[in-house]
């Protein structure tokens, strides 16, 4: 008789906790829930609830992965230094917070939970140039960005980041700055000024999308690609739902845009996926519509948190084609 072991070369494992990460087609027995389970593939991206932040807030920063993330700053109100760590299930308060309380800054979204950088923002009274580096336990002040601004875009890692656009007061800016781990240098600007935009990727291969121009009610759908030296508009790469104050993360060729503020709604849960050429609307939107939220991760395994009401909700995104756990039944 043909057996599972005969086909695959190994028997079905009996485990107390579902395995992670998953491999498509993987089968196991969960002896805690008394159920056989399978790693199936999604046909559309899906959102699921995660653990709530301990401090409800908007304008929160973040970096890391879906199962190992960091959230920091934001407006409760007032602005806060609070820093929290996510383990894929729940958030834990870090004993020490930011040195400068602020919201609406930008960060190195491709950085791991243990090593990132946070820059710019608003301290409740004025824009700031503050830049801080995280070592997994505490924040350390680093050389400041050259222009004080908030609601800017940010991508990269702890030692190689990019800060772009934002509100400098009394207008938006095109300014782009590059971080080499020691200092910030002004480099080639975005094609046009805007703020409250999304970003994804690395210092050498980045993406900027959506946002608003000089008037907060004038939305843009434009997408620009960064090659390490200059920005280029992506022809035909407009986002489908024009919006600002959205969450954006992923890579230059595989990004996600979620939530935000549109011309017809103060909050939205609309989710779109970028394939390097075009944006596609995902059939499933966030359960909690919100803007000015935090987000990090990849297109296949993303995380958003904060904002909305009551401002502490966390949602986890599993992209299309990613393995997800399914319980095997006899029906």
Q: For the chain, how far is it from start to end, CA to CA, in angstroms? A: 24
DSSP bridge partners of 201: 206
- pTM assigned to the model: 0.89
Reported confidence tier of residue 46, pLDDT bands at 50, 70, 90? very high
Which tokens in the block code for residue 255? 């990004």
In order of 208, 277, 299, the CA distances from 317 in angstroms are: 21, 21, 8
Longest Cα pair distance anywhere in the chain, in angstroms?
76
Contact between 118 and 150 under an 8 Å Cβ cutoff? The reply is no
**Per-residue pLDDT tens digits for 246-302:** 999 999 999 999 999 998 888 999 999 999 999 999 999 999 999 999 999 999 999
Domain residue extents for the chain: 4-41, 46-318
Residue 148 has a pLDDT of 98
Residue 5 has pLDDT above 90, yes or no: no
In order of 103, 118, 157, the CA distances from 152 in angstroms are: 11, 11, 16
In order of 142, 232, 245, the CA distances from 213 in angstroms are: 30, 17, 12
Task: Domain 46-318: give its CATH superfamily.
Answer: Kelch-type beta propeller (2.120.10.80)
Contact between 119 and 130 under an 8 Å Cβ cutoff? The reply is yes
Contact between 89 and 48 under an 8 Å Cβ cutoff? The reply is no
Residue 242 has a CB neighbour count (10 Å cut-off) of: 19
| Percent residues over pLDDT 90 in the chain | 83
Residue 321 has a pLDDT of 86
Reported confidence tier of residue 68, pLDDT bands at 50, 70, 90? very high
Q: Is 298 helix (H, G, I), strand (E, B) or coil?
A: coil
Q: Any idea what DSSP says for residue 207?
A: E
Helices (H), the chain: 4-8
Reported confidence tier of residue 186, pLDDT bands at 50, 70, 90? very high
Average pLDDT over residues 130-158: 98
Residue 6 has pLDDT above 70, yes or no: no
* Whole-number average pLDDT of the chain: 94
Which tokens in the block code for residue 308? 């909305």
Residue 323 has a pLDDT of 80
Average pLDDT over residues 102-116: 98
Residue 132 has a CB neighbour count (10 Å cut-off) of: 23
Three-point CA angle 53, 67, 58, nearest 5°: 30
């Amino acid at each position: 008789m043909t057996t599972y072991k005969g086909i695959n070369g190994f028997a079905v494992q009996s485990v107390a906790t579902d395995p992670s990460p998953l491999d498509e087609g993987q089968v196991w027995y969960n002896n805690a829930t008394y159920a056989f389970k399978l790693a199936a593939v999604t046909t559309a991206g899906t959102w699921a609830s995660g653990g709530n932040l301990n401090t409800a807030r908007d304008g929160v920063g973040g970096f890391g992965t879906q199962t190992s993330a960091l959230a920091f700053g934001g407006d409760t109100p007032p602005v806060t230094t609070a820093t929290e760590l996510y383990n894929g299930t729940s958030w834990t308060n870090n004993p020490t917070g930011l040195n400068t309380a602020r919201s609406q800054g930008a960060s190195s979204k491709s950085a791991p939970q243990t090593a990132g950088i946070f820059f710019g923002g608003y301290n409740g009274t004025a824009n700031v140039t503050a830049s801080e580096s995280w070592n997994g336990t505490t924040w350390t002040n680093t050389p400041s960005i050259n222009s004080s601004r908030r609601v800017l875009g940010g991508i990269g890692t702890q030692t190689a980041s990019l800060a772009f656009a934002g509100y400098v007061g009394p207008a938006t800016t095109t300014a782009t700055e590059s971080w080499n781990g020691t200092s910030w240098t002004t480099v080639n600007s975005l094609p046009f000024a805007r703020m409250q935009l999304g970003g994804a990727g690395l210092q050498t291969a980045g993406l900027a999308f959506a946002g608003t121009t000089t008037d907060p009610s004038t939305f843009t759908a434009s997408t620009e690609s960064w090659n390490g030296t200059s920005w280029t508009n992506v022809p035909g790469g407009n986002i489908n739902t024009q919006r600002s104050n959205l969450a954006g993360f992923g890579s230059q060729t595989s990004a996600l845009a979620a939530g935000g503020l549109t011309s017809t709604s103060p909050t939205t849960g609309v989710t779109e996926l970028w394939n390097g050429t075009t944006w596609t609307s995902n059939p499933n939107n966030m359960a909690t519509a919100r803007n000015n939220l935090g987000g990090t991760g990849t297109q296949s395994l993303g995380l958003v948190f904060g904002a909305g009401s009551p401002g502490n909700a966390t949602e986890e995104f599993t992209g299309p084609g990613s393995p997800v756990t399914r319980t095997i039944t006899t029906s």
